[in-house]
Amino acid sequence: MIFMSRRAPRFRGFAVAVCAGLGWGCCVFAQKLDVVGRIGDQEVSTEEVRAALSGLPPAEQARLAGDSALLQQMVRSILVRKAVLQELQEKKWDQSPEVKARMEQVREAALTESYLQTMSQPPDSYPNETELQSAYETTKPSLLVPRSYRLAQIFIAVPKNGTPEEVKKSRAKADAIYTRLLAPGGDFATVAKADSEERESAARGGEIGWLAENQIQPEILSQLPKLSLNLVSQPVKLNDGWHILKVLDAREPYTPTLEQVRSQLREQMRAEKARTNSQALIERMLQTRPVTLEDPTLSKVLAPASAR
């Protein structure tokens, strides 16, 4: 591995009006919800998925909206939870005193968190343009994007704990591929698809994509400045095997403009403001409701039953 390790459709339900005459008449609406999944006789509707999504942070909502596999995983989790709930209710598990006590603790924690979140939200007008600009200037140094490279590779694996003979064989294969690439008509993408042993990038003609300098292994990074665009490197040895590289493009370090980071910066500022507001709210409560602790009584909580 040449890089270092770095984590709704509109409702289409319909209503049917059933009118009965009582002089003035009345209407009862039955609403059919779209079902997105089933487990046994349990179903998950689009509205349930939307409700689950609404409780997530905006960034997580956006991630799920852009990744159907993650969204499907979320629906599976909801279905599994429904199946477990159905079984425990059939066994009256939720009626035991211990479970009821835990449920009450969870309910109180959820209510507390919901209240603090709601009461701590900054106004929609926060931050204004002046506040955004000031925050941008303050954080500007940390926004610097280092030099980046768009890379392609051909990878030849070296067996873990391989014998000297196996290491020699893999090196010979890498050298042979390098020679073919230097020959007239040698096409990197074609050779990568045929011979690279890292199949994901091989399917793209060896292309890995854009990597910043701080994401690239030092052994690889040291080779990149020596390569002009579209030139091929000699095989580079890492712990996992041999890497033949090609620089497809390069970008100099740059700092994003305010417009490029506006939405992320605004979200970050609102979250920080909400945390500050929440802490201030708690401090105001404590001023009117001072906390007192009875140490002698508290010490008995963890004491053995025989000593109480």
Assess whether 130 and 158 both reside in one domain. Answer: no
CA torsion sign for 64, 69, 75, 79 is negative
Q: Tokens 């701590």 belong to which residue?
A: 120
- Whether 5 is covered by a domain: the verdict is no
- Whether 264 is covered by a domain: the verdict is yes
Distance from C-alpha of 223 to C-alpha of 152, rounded to nearest angstrom: 14
pLDDT in tens, 264-285: 999 999 999 999 999 999 999 9
What one-letter code names the amino acid at 2? I
- State the Cα torsion 190-196-198-204 to the nearest 10°: -10
Distance from C-alpha of 230 to C-alpha of 187, rounded to nearest angstrom: 11
Assess whether 46 and 83 both reside in one domain. Answer: yes
Assess whether 242 and 264 both reside in one domain. Answer: no
Assess whether 188 and 235 both reside in one domain. Answer: yes
Assess whether 275 and 133 both reside in one domain. Answer: yes
Contacts of 122 (CB under 8 A, 6+ apart): 270, 273, 274, 277
- Whether 163 is covered by a domain: the verdict is yes
Assess whether 53 and 63 both reside in one domain. Answer: yes
The residue ranking higher by pLDDT, 8 or 161, is 161
- Whether 293 is covered by a domain: the verdict is no
In the chain, pLDDT over 90 holds for what percent of residues? 65
Distance from C-alpha of 154 to C-alpha of 220, rounded to nearest angstrom: 13
Assess whether 163 and 205 both reside in one domain. Answer: yes
Assess whether 61 and 131 both reside in one domain. Answer: no
Assess whether 105 and 123 both reside in one domain. Answer: yes
Both tokens assigned to 276? 């500050």
In the chain, pLDDT over 70 holds for what percent of residues? 87
- State the Cα torsion 121-124-130-136 to the nearest 10°: 60
pLDDT in tens, 162-219: 888 998 999 999 999 999 999 999 999 999 999 999 999 999 999 999 999 989 999 8
Mean pLDDT of 122-130: 96
CATH of the domain at 192: 3.10.50.40
- Whether 19 is covered by a domain: the verdict is no
| Collapsed DSSP state (helix, strand, coil) of residue 52 | helix
Task: Flag whether pLDDT at 57 surpasses 90.
Answer: no
Mean pLDDT of the chain: 86
Mean pLDDT of 4-29: 38
Among candidates 215, 209, 212, which has minimal Cα distance to 6?
Answer: 215
Among candidates 221, 232, 130, which has minimal Cα distance to 174?
Answer: 232
Among candidates 133, 127, 159, 144, which has minimal Cα distance to 213?
Answer: 144
Confidence of residue 3 (pLDDT cuts 50, 70, 90): low
Both tokens assigned to 64? 């799920």
- Whether 112 is covered by a domain: the verdict is yes
Assess whether 89 and 107 both reside in one domain. Answer: no
- Give the count of domains, the chain: 3
Assess whether 161 and 123 both reside in one domain. Answer: no
- Whether 306 is covered by a domain: the verdict is no
Both tokens assigned to 63? 């991630």
| Collapsed DSSP state (helix, strand, coil) of residue 3 | strand
Residue 25: predicted pLDDT: 39
Is residue 4 within 8 A of residue 215, CB to CB? The reply is yes
User: Domain containing 269: what range?
Assistant: 96-143+255-288
- Whether 25 is covered by a domain: the verdict is no
Between 65-74, 122-131, 185-194, the lowest mean confidence (pLDDT) is in 65-74
Scanning 129-210, the segments in alpha helix (DSSP H) are 129-139, 164-182, 188-195, 199-202
Distance from C-alpha of 154 to C-alpha of 143, rounded to nearest angstrom: 32
Assess whether 184 and 244 both reside in one domain. Answer: yes
Verdict on whether the full-model pTM lies above 0.85: no
